[in-house]
Structure 1
């Protein structure tokens, strides 16, 4: 599956810098998704937004340790692994936001006393990483056949130093002159039903003014 937005923007993943202007500002970078890439997880997917890339694997529903068992629903765990090094405070914060979103749509009551684990591996970070993680997680859950009341998606929204609204900022744009930034996640229900706002998070390292 592959979807693309009309834009002439190119991003260098090593710096997160755009090689050309993106206009208008309320557009997304090119994005693409591929499912069923890994053999060991029950479901997997890669998601690409510009040059930000995340690989997701879903394990479960499976047996859960007694100390983590919840009698009336599945235990949902999210593990985010950075491209280099060990997970830090930023990864733990993102894990919490992703878990909150997944718990809002996964029908955990259908699989009580089990575990569902979402493992996210950052391949490259050229900006809007949390939104890319959310989208990768959703596609991997679908590939694993985990029951959900709706699909969900994430998008990064920001204000630059001039007060201009921007979607899907690059890493360079995130670091230079941002007044504020949030990541919004929304459910995507079946046709005929309204979408629902699920969560709102502020990525670590972004100063709110």
Structure 2
């Protein structure tokens, strides 16, 4: 293992050299290297990041889905669904954040990297469950956090806070059943409470 971390700028230069035109954007933000690639190049880039001598990112430490539909208060004009991964090279003591966007907002699909980093198996199932992102080539893509009968994907920005269905135990059927949500949707507006009798605390 390297005793000293490689500077973000050095890693940025290495990624540009290794990936060439496959790197859509490589930037350094807040001391971290961010790499954005097209969905068509995602799988090949992942292999290069793992195997290229200057990269050697042998560990996937996190992968999550993202819904950018209300990002920056709705000013976002790019593709809606993204997949963000954090990669670690123990050998070279360096990290990179890898982002890929699904090219279709209606049916978001990107390649699975589970054959490259086995840790992606459960992470991708979670992103599928919560965001509805389909990972092409995943051998066991099914829900992991919600129930098999769950409707929709709860981390999508347009998913209602109260959900679509609720479940309860039905004593007549002697089992748990699903039914439409009975809670009336309402807008919760925060209110400011002033404890006048105690004073404002400002003098």
- Whose radius of gyration is greater, 1 or 2? 2
Say whether the fold is shared (TM-score over 0.5). no
Of structures 1 and 2, the one with the larger relative CO (CA 8 A, separation 6+) is 1
Identify the structure with the greater strand proportion.
1
Output the TM-score relative to the length of structure 1: 0.26
